Amino acid sequence: MAHRRRRLRFLLTVVLAALVTTLGLLSASAASVGLQRITITLDRKGERRSLLVDPPATVATVLALAGVVPTTGRLLSVGTGRVLVEGNAKPQLWLGSHMVDMETPVTDGASLRIVEAPDEVEGTVDAEGDVPPPPLPDVISELWRPGLPGRGRVARGLRSGEEVARTTIVPGVPPARVTDKEIALTFDDGPWPSTPDVLRILREKQVKATFCMVGYTLEGEGITRAKAVAGEGHTLCNHTVHHDGHLAKKPQAVIDAEIVGGNELLTRRLGVDRPAFYRPPGGSLSPAVTATAKAQHQTVLMWTIDPSDYKKPPATEIVSRVMGALRPGAIILLHDGGGDRAQTLAAIGPIIDQARAQGYVFVTPDKVTPVGSPSAAAPTTAPAPPPATIPGPLGQGG
């Protein structure tokens, strides 16, 4: 009996031991489950939050768990604020007092601080240099001398070159009306079959003129004639695509199509730079038309003398109308296109000869000598004319 009792006690001991071991293992396992997650404090823009993270963890896993993408700073231009460099500055990541990177391991209780990279504005550089002269009026109906550049100190963005500040050291000289005996011939509505005849007369007389061309004529032979005009050194001018004499009353879309379209035809079909001048068909002008030309960097070129050659008066009548109205700075309106130009062709030579006999010199409105320079019409020994004062209102074109 005593033997059986000992045996029972042994079994109980074994069972108890097994039970204790199992319980111990279970509790150890429970303890290890509790250790698996670590607590990290995330500090971003002064906002703190705690996160429970599974080890092993790095800065990257903490940020991914928090759904945080630290902001990368951009470099912005000083004038317009456009982005010059994306990723100009990286955000800083700090664990305590150590700057770390995304791969750095984090341990329980760590405090991860994100310092976002701010956008930066580029620096500026100051330089002294020429500043452009005050511009010509938006609309001219007689010849103007361009002004003279001034001197100034200009602050620009280091990278963008954007101008942010300008200090005048010496002011520019404003443009001024021509008061010397300089005049200009302008020819409208070409190219046309008579254009080569006009060119021949101008070549013989050694005169440069301005040709205000209509876009729709720039086809086939018209292109050849127009290229001859440009090739012989005459000045080109935009006279719209379709020669709408009432453009000022049309919607902006039509004004754009006619003015911008005319420039595109001239530059594309002739391979020239955009002309500096716009001449409105029929003189049809409005603030919208002027603004559209200005936006195309064009001055509206009106005229001083309109002898109505398009109405085909006798050549002698065209000549006398021009000569009777001639004055310094005059812009003479004639036509190389738009119909039979026999009377105009017969008038050009006498106009040139008679004007020259009176001491006039022919120039183009883009090549007038600047204010203060000896003019083409003035004797070289004469003193330069003093700069003129600010112009008054413009006269009406014909």
In the complex, least distance from residue 238 CB atom to Zn ion, rounded to whole angstroms: 11
Q: Least Å distance between CB 189 and Zn ion?
A: 4
Residue 306 found at the interface with Zn ion (CB under 5 A): no
**Structure tokens, 221:** 């032979």
Main-chain dihedrals φ then ψ at residue 196, nearest 5 degrees: -60, -30
Per-residue HEC secondary structure of 314-363 comes to: CHHHHHHHHHHHCCCCEEEEEECCCCCCHHHHHHHHHHHHHHHHCCCEEC
The count of chain residues that interact with Zn ion, using the rule CB under 5 A, is: 3
- Kindly indicate which of the ranges 9-17, 150-158, 162-170, 275-283 contains the residues binding Zn ion, using the contact rule CB under 5 A: 275-283
By the rule CB under 5 A, 309 interacts with Zn ion: no
- Residue of 122, 188, 244, 336 that binds Zn ion (CB under 5 A): 188
The residue with its CB nearest to Zn ion is: 188
Q: Does 281 bind Zn ion (CB under 5 A)?
A: yes
Does 336 bind Zn ion (CB under 5 A)? Our answer is: no
Query: Which residue of the set 180, 188, 244, 336 is catalytic?
Result: 188
In eight-state DSSP terms, residue 393 is P
Nearer Cβ to Zn ion, position 180 or 189? 189
CB atoms within 10 A of CB 269: 16
Catalytic status, residue 188:
yes
Task: Determine whether 335 is an active site residue.
Answer: yes
Cβ partners under 8 Å of residue 128, min gap 6? 151, 152, 153, 154, 169
For Zn ion, the closer CB: 243 or 321: 243
Q: Which residue among the candidates 234, 239, 243, 335 is catalytic per the annotation?
A: 335
Distance, in Å, from the CA atom of 233 to the CA atom of 336, rounded to the nearest integer, reads: 16
CB of 214 to Zn ion, least distance (A): 7
The token pair that represents 143 in the structure block: 């010849």
Least distance in Å: CB of 139 to Zn ion?
Answer: 16
DSSP letter for 301, please: E
Half-sphere exposure of residue 83, counting CA atoms within 13 Å on the CB side? Answer: 9
- Residue identified by tokens 């007389």 is 205
Catalytic residues: 188, 335
- Give residues in contact with Zn ion (CB under 5 A): 188-189, 281
